Protein backbone atom coordinates (compact mmCIF):
# COMPACT_ATOMS: atom_id res chain seq x y z
CA UNK A 1 0.00 0.00 0.00
CA UNK A 2 1.27 3.49 -0.88
CA UNK A 3 2.15 5.62 2.08
CA UNK A 4 2.37 9.43 2.20
CA UNK A 5 2.69 11.76 5.18
CA UNK A 6 -0.18 14.23 5.33
CA UNK A 7 2.37 17.04 5.75
CA UNK A 8 3.85 16.12 2.36
CA UNK A 9 0.42 16.27 0.76
CA UNK A 10 -0.05 19.66 2.44
CA UNK A 11 3.13 21.06 0.91
CA UNK A 12 2.03 19.90 -2.50
CA UNK A 13 -1.52 21.22 -2.15
CA UNK A 14 -0.24 24.57 -0.98
CA UNK A 15 1.83 25.12 -4.11
CA UNK A 16 -1.15 24.21 -6.28
CA UNK A 17 -3.34 26.62 -4.34
CA UNK A 18 -0.71 29.34 -4.65
CA UNK A 19 -0.78 29.00 -8.42
CA UNK A 20 -4.56 29.33 -8.53
CA UNK A 21 -5.02 32.17 -6.06
CA UNK A 22 -2.61 35.04 -5.55
CA UNK A 23 -4.19 35.94 -2.22
CA UNK A 24 -2.79 32.78 -0.66
CA UNK A 25 0.10 33.68 1.63
CA UNK A 26 2.07 31.30 3.84
CA UNK A 27 3.69 31.88 7.20
CA UNK A 28 5.98 29.64 9.18
CA UNK A 29 8.02 29.79 12.36
CA UNK A 30 11.37 28.31 11.37
CA UNK A 31 10.01 24.86 10.59
CA UNK A 32 9.29 25.23 6.90
CA UNK A 33 11.38 22.23 5.92
CA UNK A 34 9.48 20.05 8.38
CA UNK A 35 6.00 21.49 7.82
CA UNK A 36 6.66 21.37 4.06
CA UNK A 37 5.76 25.01 3.50
CA UNK A 38 9.28 25.32 2.07
CA UNK A 39 7.91 24.12 -1.26
CA UNK A 40 5.59 27.14 -1.36
CA UNK A 41 8.51 29.40 -0.46
CA UNK A 42 10.51 27.97 -3.33
CA UNK A 43 7.86 28.90 -5.87
CA UNK A 44 6.43 32.05 -4.27
CA UNK A 45 9.12 33.62 -2.08
CA UNK A 46 7.35 36.99 -2.15
CA UNK A 47 4.24 35.45 -0.54
CA UNK A 48 6.05 33.50 2.14
CA UNK A 49 6.88 34.95 5.56
CA UNK A 50 9.09 33.31 8.10
CA UNK A 51 8.65 35.00 11.47
CA UNK A 52 11.37 33.01 13.18
CA UNK A 53 10.80 31.02 16.33
CA UNK A 54 7.84 33.08 17.45
CA UNK A 55 4.50 31.29 17.33
CA UNK A 56 2.45 34.02 18.97
CA UNK A 57 3.72 36.48 16.39
CA UNK A 58 3.05 33.91 13.67
CA UNK A 59 -0.66 33.81 14.47
CA UNK A 60 -0.98 37.55 14.99
CA UNK A 61 0.73 38.36 11.70
CA UNK A 62 -1.54 35.90 9.93
CA UNK A 63 -4.54 37.63 11.52
CA UNK A 64 -3.38 41.01 10.22
CA UNK A 65 -2.93 39.66 6.71
CA UNK A 66 -6.43 38.20 6.82
CA UNK A 67 -7.98 41.56 7.78
CA UNK A 68 -6.69 42.89 4.46
CA UNK A 69 -8.17 40.11 2.33
CA UNK A 70 -5.28 37.67 2.22
CA UNK A 71 -5.80 33.96 2.88
CA UNK A 72 -2.93 33.08 5.19
CA UNK A 73 -1.85 29.53 5.92
CA UNK A 74 0.12 29.57 9.17
CA UNK A 75 2.18 26.50 9.89
CA UNK A 76 4.22 25.10 12.70
CA UNK A 77 4.07 21.94 14.81
CA UNK A 78 0.65 21.26 16.34
CA UNK A 79 2.00 21.46 19.87
CA UNK A 80 3.30 25.00 19.36
CA UNK A 81 0.43 26.22 17.20
CA UNK A 82 -2.27 25.26 19.66
CA UNK A 83 -0.35 25.42 22.91
CA UNK A 84 2.05 28.29 22.55
CA UNK A 85 -0.31 30.46 20.54
CA UNK A 86 -3.68 29.43 21.95
CA UNK A 87 -4.56 32.93 23.13
CA UNK A 88 -3.57 34.48 19.81
CA UNK A 89 -5.70 31.95 17.94
CA UNK A 90 -8.63 32.53 20.25
CA UNK A 91 -8.54 36.30 20.55
CA UNK A 92 -6.82 37.57 17.41
CA UNK A 93 -8.15 34.99 14.92
CA UNK A 94 -11.31 33.19 16.04
CA UNK A 95 -13.09 35.96 17.97
CA UNK A 96 -12.96 38.34 14.98
CA UNK A 97 -13.59 35.32 12.71
CA UNK A 98 -10.59 36.07 10.53
CA UNK A 99 -9.84 33.98 7.50
CA UNK A 100 -6.72 32.27 8.81
CA UNK A 101 -5.91 28.64 8.09
CA UNK A 102 -3.77 26.99 10.73
CA UNK A 103 -2.14 23.95 9.16
CA UNK A 104 -0.34 22.27 12.04
CA UNK A 105 1.93 19.34 11.41
CA UNK A 106 3.59 16.74 13.66
CA UNK A 107 0.42 16.13 15.65
CA UNK A 108 -0.02 13.10 17.87
CA UNK A 109 2.22 10.32 19.09
CA UNK A 110 3.61 9.52 15.66
CA UNK A 111 5.95 12.50 15.93
CA UNK A 112 7.98 9.68 17.42
CA UNK A 113 11.47 10.16 18.75
CA UNK A 114 11.11 13.81 19.82
CA UNK A 115 8.97 12.57 22.68
CA UNK A 116 6.24 13.98 24.90
CA UNK A 117 7.08 17.68 24.61
CA UNK A 118 6.46 17.52 20.87
CA UNK A 119 3.47 15.18 20.75
CA UNK A 120 0.25 17.21 20.62
CA UNK A 121 -2.46 15.05 22.16
CA UNK A 122 -4.88 17.77 23.19
CA UNK A 123 -4.90 20.07 20.17
CA UNK A 124 -8.27 18.85 18.84
CA UNK A 125 -9.82 19.56 22.23
CA UNK A 126 -8.32 23.04 22.39
CA UNK A 127 -9.33 24.00 18.87
CA UNK A 128 -12.83 22.61 18.89
CA UNK A 129 -13.64 24.47 22.09
CA UNK A 130 -13.14 27.79 20.29
CA UNK A 131 -16.23 29.30 18.65
CA UNK A 132 -16.00 30.00 14.88
CA UNK A 133 -13.26 27.38 14.46
CA UNK A 134 -13.52 24.57 11.94
CA UNK A 135 -11.42 21.52 12.86
CA UNK A 136 -10.23 19.06 10.22
CA UNK A 137 -8.11 15.95 10.68
CA UNK A 138 -7.27 14.37 7.32
CA UNK A 139 -6.70 10.62 7.16
CA UNK A 140 -4.35 10.46 4.19
CA UNK A 141 -2.69 12.36 1.37
CA UNK A 142 -5.65 12.81 -0.98
CA UNK A 143 -7.89 13.84 1.89
CA UNK A 144 -5.30 16.40 2.96
CA UNK A 145 -5.22 17.89 -0.52
CA UNK A 146 -9.01 18.10 -0.54
CA UNK A 147 -9.05 19.63 2.94
CA UNK A 148 -6.52 22.31 2.10
CA UNK A 149 -8.45 23.33 -0.98
CA UNK A 150 -11.77 23.31 0.87
CA UNK A 151 -10.33 25.28 3.78
CA UNK A 152 -9.19 28.00 1.41
CA UNK A 153 -12.66 28.21 -0.09
CA UNK A 154 -14.56 28.88 3.12
CA UNK A 155 -14.37 32.18 4.95
CA UNK A 156 -13.24 31.80 8.54
CA UNK A 157 -10.63 30.17 10.70
CA UNK A 158 -9.78 26.52 10.10
CA UNK A 159 -7.48 24.23 12.05
CA UNK A 160 -6.03 21.38 9.98
CA UNK A 161 -4.22 18.66 11.91
CA UNK A 162 -1.43 16.96 10.00
CA UNK A 163 1.08 14.25 10.79
CA UNK A 164 4.78 13.67 10.43
CA UNK A 165 4.84 10.00 9.49
CA UNK A 166 3.82 8.38 6.24
CA UNK A 167 0.34 6.85 6.42
CA UNK A 168 -1.48 4.49 4.03
CA UNK A 169 -3.37 6.12 1.19
CA UNK A 170 -7.00 5.03 1.45
CA UNK A 171 -8.66 7.53 -0.90
CA UNK A 172 -8.02 7.84 -4.61
CA UNK A 173 -7.21 11.04 -6.44
CA UNK A 174 -10.83 11.60 -7.43
CA UNK A 175 -11.85 11.79 -3.79
CA UNK A 176 -14.35 14.56 -3.22
CA UNK A 177 -13.69 16.19 0.14
CA UNK A 178 -16.52 18.10 1.78
CA UNK A 179 -16.11 19.95 5.05
CA UNK A 180 -18.50 18.61 7.69
CA UNK A 181 -19.46 15.46 5.77
CA UNK A 182 -18.35 12.18 7.31
CA UNK A 183 -17.44 9.34 4.98
CA UNK A 184 -18.81 5.82 5.37
CA UNK A 185 -15.91 3.70 4.18
CA UNK A 186 -17.54 0.40 4.90
CA UNK A 187 -21.12 -0.47 5.75
CA UNK A 188 -21.99 -2.90 8.52
CA UNK A 189 -24.69 -3.77 11.03
CA UNK A 190 -23.19 -4.86 14.35
CA UNK A 191 -20.97 -2.00 15.39
CA UNK A 192 -19.74 1.39 14.16
CA UNK A 193 -16.13 2.44 14.31
CA UNK A 194 -15.79 6.20 14.07
CA UNK A 195 -12.22 7.21 13.35
CA UNK A 196 -10.21 10.25 12.42
CA UNK A 197 -6.72 10.93 11.07
CA UNK A 198 -4.27 8.05 11.05
CA UNK A 199 -6.74 5.88 12.96
CA UNK A 200 -8.97 5.60 9.91
CA UNK A 201 -6.66 3.13 8.19
CA UNK A 202 -6.15 1.33 11.50
CA UNK A 203 -9.93 1.01 11.77
CA UNK A 204 -10.25 -0.44 8.28
CA UNK A 205 -7.65 -3.05 9.25
CA UNK A 206 -9.57 -3.77 12.45
CA UNK A 207 -12.81 -4.13 10.49
CA UNK A 208 -11.17 -6.71 8.24
CA UNK A 209 -10.10 -8.73 11.26
CA UNK A 210 -13.57 -8.51 12.78
CA UNK A 211 -15.32 -9.53 9.58
CA UNK A 212 -13.31 -12.74 9.65
CA UNK A 213 -14.91 -13.46 12.99
CA UNK A 214 -18.35 -12.78 11.54
CA UNK A 215 -18.83 -9.32 13.02
CA UNK A 216 -20.32 -6.82 10.60
CA UNK A 217 -18.57 -3.49 11.04
CA UNK A 218 -19.41 -0.01 9.79
CA UNK A 219 -16.41 2.29 9.46
CA UNK A 220 -16.92 6.03 9.37
CA UNK A 221 -14.19 8.56 8.71
CA UNK A 222 -14.93 11.77 10.57
CA UNK A 223 -12.37 14.09 9.01
CA UNK A 224 -14.20 17.19 10.19
CA UNK A 225 -14.41 17.15 13.96
CA UNK A 226 -16.17 20.49 13.91
CA UNK A 227 -18.77 20.98 12.59
CA UNK A 228 -19.34 17.25 13.07
CA UNK A 229 -21.64 15.20 10.83
CA UNK A 230 -24.44 14.60 13.35
CA UNK A 231 -26.82 13.06 10.88
CA UNK A 232 -24.41 10.37 9.77
CA UNK A 233 -23.39 9.50 13.33
CA UNK A 234 -26.95 9.23 14.58
CA UNK A 235 -28.05 7.15 11.59
CA UNK A 236 -25.20 4.72 12.04
CA UNK A 237 -25.67 4.47 15.81
CA UNK A 238 -29.35 3.75 15.23
CA UNK A 239 -28.45 0.94 12.88
CA UNK A 240 -25.62 -0.76 14.80
CA UNK A 241 -26.40 0.21 18.41
CA UNK A 242 -22.75 0.40 19.46
CA UNK A 243 -19.85 2.73 18.69
CA UNK A 244 -16.09 2.69 19.09
CA UNK A 245 -14.17 5.91 18.47
CA UNK A 246 -10.53 5.90 17.41
CA UNK A 247 -8.16 8.86 17.46
CA UNK A 248 -4.49 9.67 17.96
CA UNK A 249 -5.35 12.13 20.72
CA UNK A 250 -6.25 12.19 24.38
CA UNK A 251 -9.57 10.41 24.83
CA UNK A 252 -10.68 13.52 26.72
CA UNK A 253 -11.93 16.32 24.55
CA UNK A 254 -11.25 14.95 21.09
CA UNK A 255 -13.20 12.88 18.59
CA UNK A 256 -14.58 10.50 21.23
CA UNK A 257 -15.98 13.37 23.25
CA UNK A 258 -17.39 15.07 20.16
CA UNK A 259 -19.13 11.87 19.06
CA UNK A 260 -20.54 11.30 22.54
CA UNK A 261 -21.90 14.84 22.67
CA UNK A 262 -23.94 14.03 19.58
CA UNK A 263 -25.02 10.54 20.61
CA UNK A 264 -25.90 11.46 24.20
CA UNK A 265 -28.32 14.03 22.86
CA UNK A 266 -29.78 12.24 19.87
CA UNK A 267 -29.19 8.50 20.12
CA UNK A 268 -27.55 7.18 23.28
CA UNK A 269 -25.71 3.90 22.63
CA UNK A 270 -22.74 2.27 24.38
CA UNK A 271 -19.43 3.83 23.29
CA UNK A 272 -15.84 2.72 23.86
CA UNK A 273 -12.77 4.83 23.17
CA UNK A 274 -9.51 4.07 21.46
CA UNK A 275 -7.06 6.88 22.08
CA UNK A 276 -4.34 8.02 24.41
CA UNK A 277 -5.69 7.52 27.89
CA UNK A 278 -4.94 10.84 29.54
CA UNK A 279 -1.21 10.46 29.65
CA UNK A 280 1.83 12.03 27.98
CA UNK A 281 3.72 10.13 25.32
CA UNK A 282 7.44 9.40 25.20
CA UNK A 283 10.26 8.87 22.72
CA UNK A 284 10.16 5.91 20.38
CA UNK A 285 9.43 4.99 16.82
CA UNK A 286 5.90 5.80 15.68
CA UNK A 287 5.03 2.11 15.46
CA UNK A 288 6.41 1.31 18.89
CA UNK A 289 4.41 4.21 20.32
CA UNK A 290 1.18 3.12 18.65
CA UNK A 291 1.73 -0.34 20.15
CA UNK A 292 2.55 0.86 23.63
CA UNK A 293 -0.27 3.42 23.79
CA UNK A 294 -2.78 0.93 22.37
CA UNK A 295 -3.65 2.54 19.06
CA UNK A 296 -3.39 -0.56 16.86
CA UNK A 297 -6.05 -2.46 14.90
CA UNK A 298 -5.88 -5.14 17.62
CA UNK A 299 -6.76 -2.56 20.25
CA UNK A 300 -9.72 -1.45 18.17
CA UNK A 301 -10.87 -5.07 17.83
CA UNK A 302 -10.67 -5.44 21.59
CA UNK A 303 -12.81 -2.34 22.17
CA UNK A 304 -15.33 -3.47 19.57
CA UNK A 305 -15.82 -6.73 21.44
CA UNK A 306 -16.13 -4.84 24.69
CA UNK A 307 -18.74 -2.43 23.39
CA UNK A 308 -20.76 -5.22 21.76
CA UNK A 309 -21.14 -6.91 25.15
CA UNK A 310 -22.72 -3.72 26.41
CA UNK A 311 -25.40 -3.60 23.71
Cis ω before 236 (30° cut-off from 0): no
Applying CB under 8 A, which of residues 4, 30, 34, 64 lies at the interface with another protein? 64
User: How far is CA 168 from each of CA 1, 16, 202, 236, rounded to the nearest angstrom?
Assistant: 6, 22, 9, 25
User: How far is CA 176 from each of CA 19, 172, 220, 272, rounded to the nearest angstrom?
Assistant: 20, 9, 15, 30
- Kindly indicate which of the ranges 47-55, 171-179, 233-241, 293-301 contains the residues binding another protein, using the contact rule CB under 8 A: 47-55
**Closest approach of Cβ 20 to another protein, in Å?**
17
Region at 241 (left for phi over 0; alpha for psi -120 to 50; beta for the rest)? left
For residue 158, count other CB atoms closer than 10 A to its CB.
Answer: 26
Applying CB under 8 A, which of residues 21, 67, 279, 285 lies at the interface with another protein? 67
Which residues share a beta bridge with 183? 221
Size of residue set near another protein by CB under 8 A: 29
For residue 209, count other CB atoms closer than 10 A to its CB.
Answer: 15
- Kindly indicate which of the ranges 64-72, 119-127, 149-157, 270-278 contains the residues binding another protein, using the contact rule CB under 8 A: 64-72
Applying CB under 8 A, which of residues 15, 17, 31, 59 lies at the interface with another protein? 59
- Kindly indicate which of the ranges 60-68, 147-155, 239-247, 284-292 contains the residues binding another protein, using the contact rule CB under 8 A: 60-68
Interface pattern 87-106 for another protein (x via CB under 8 A): xx--xx--xxx---------
Which residues share a beta bridge with 73? 26, 101
Catalytic residue among 20, 43, 55, 145: 55
Nearer to another protein, 89 or 199 (CB): 89
Interface pattern 71-90 for another protein (x via CB under 8 A): -x--------------xx--
Q: Is 55 a catalytic residue?
A: yes
Applying CB under 8 A, which of residues 33, 52, 268, 287 lies at the interface with another protein? 52
**Closest approach of Cβ 68 to another protein, in Å?**
3
Nearer to another protein, 60 or 197 (CB): 60
Q: Classify burial at 134, counting beta carbons within 10 Å of its beta carbon; exposed 0-12, middle 13-18, buried 19 or more.
A: buried
Applying CB under 8 A, which of residues 14, 24, 26, 65 lies at the interface with another protein? 65
Q: Which of residues 13-32 bind another protein (CB under 8 A)?
A: 25
Catalytic center residues: 55
Amino acid sequence: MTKIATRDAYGKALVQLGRENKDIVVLDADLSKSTKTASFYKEFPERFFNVGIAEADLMGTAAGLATAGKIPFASTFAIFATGRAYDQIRNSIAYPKLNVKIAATHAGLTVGEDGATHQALEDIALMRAIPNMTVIVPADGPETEGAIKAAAEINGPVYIRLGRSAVPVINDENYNFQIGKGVTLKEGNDVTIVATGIMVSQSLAAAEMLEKEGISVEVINIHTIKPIDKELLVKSAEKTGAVVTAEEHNIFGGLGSAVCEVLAQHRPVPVEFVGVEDTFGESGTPDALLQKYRLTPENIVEKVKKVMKRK
